[in-house]
Chain A
Amino acid sequence: MSSPAPSPPKAYIDTMVFIYHFKQHALTPKADNFFKDIEKGKYAGVTTSFTITEYIAVMRKALAEARNGPSTSTDVIKLRKQIEEFISNMGIVYFDADPLTSGVYGKFFSSVENVVENAKHFKNRRTNKWFVVNGADALHVVMAVRAGADFYATFDDDFRGVDSWIKPLMLFEVY
């Protein structure tokens, strides 16, 4: 009996990567190329229910601004169905954020604090701005590590300084 094929290196997918793939944007081609690599089997995508939460929150705001009116519960269902179908079809490893952040596997927020306190600063030479992860970013870093991810795929410069915990995959440079 043949054993199942080993999964490729795991890349935790940051929320904006999904958003740029689904909503037309100057970065959409780069997000597409990353997802094409997942489709080809170069990476195994990893995500959590918290990423879906952030995605829905951003798109509800975008819809409200575009309509100058509130989003509806039907919008939420549509948004959720669409991203979950994508995750399923792409073979992306999906973690429920509840067990992933559970104290059963060690103190979660202490790890988040540690990332915030020890992450490196990064200066963008072009814009002269300084970057470093904030608390919400650090939540994702710890979840990514707990999920066993090898890379953190993002378009956000703030994540450059987390390489002590996980290797950042800066998609605007790689693609």
Chain B
Amino acid sequence: MRGFEKLTVVNANVVPKRYFPFVSVDDTVQSLKKPLKSNAQVILGGVFNENIADSFYNERLELGERFTFRIPAPFMKWHPAKQGTVAKFHGCLNRIYPELGKISDKDLDTLIRNMRNKEE
């Protein structure tokens, strides 16, 4: 058809495979009919009110008012940590990728600042 170009369609509606060792649930494919899970009503010291769109302003919070709102359930819940994990993973990238030794502290800080489009 004149005036129209054939566009390359990229399927962006895919999610990465996950490797969590303690999780067997695959949530990468969800039925459209399946409602989003939600845990119970919680009180979090107040940030939202009934209409979240205009509730993030903190005036009512400053007055000491408390609000309730629903939050989604986490994919993985809290459990006590496996002891020794911090020591096991300390500096692990330098062992897996020795070439990362070439990246100085300043270089890494710059990459981190750039991650959120911040000035150096």
Contacts and interface: CB of A to CB of B under 8 A. Distances in A.
A117 B10 CA distance: 35
A22 B86 contact: no
A164 B69 contact: no
A96 B30 CA distance: 13
A84 B78 CA distance: 14
Overall SS of chain B's interface:
loop
A87 B20 contact: yes
A2 interface: no
Nearest to B91: A24
A56 to B, nearest CB: 9
A88 B80 contact: no
Interface of B: 16, 18-23, 27, 36-38, 42, 44, 47-48, 51-58, 61-62, 69-83, 85-86, 88-94, 96-97, 99-103, 105, 107-108, 111-112, 114-118
B100 A95 contact: no
Interface in A16-42: 16, 19, 21-26, 28, 32, 35-36, 38-39, 41
Contact of A63 (B69, B73, B85, B100): B100
B74 A147 contact: yes
B81 to A, nearest CB: 4
B78 A91 contact: yes
Contacts of B118: 134, 158
Given A7-B78, A93-B74, 17 more contacts: A5-B80, A15-B112, A23-B91, A23-B103, A62-B103, A62-B108, A66-B99, A66-B100, A84-B20, A84-B21, A89-B88, A93-B78, A95-B72, A99-B73, A110-B53, A145-B44, A147-B71
B44 A39 contact: no
Interface residues of A, number: 73
Contacts of A19: 108, 112
A84 B22 CA distance: 10
A89 B100 contact: no
B85 A90 contact: yes
Interface in A97-154: 99-100, 102, 104-107, 110-111, 114-115, 118, 134, 136-137, 142, 145-148
Given A88-B22, A105-B70, A136-B117, A25 B53 contact: no
Contacts of B117: 134, 136
23 contacts: A21-B86, A21-B90, A23-B91, A24-B101, A32-B86, A41-B81, A54-B116, A61-B114, A63-B97, A65-B107, A67-B99, A82-B89, A82-B96, A88-B21, A90-B82, A95-B75, A104-B36, A104-B38, A105-B70, A111-B52, A148-B42, A164-B58, A165-B58
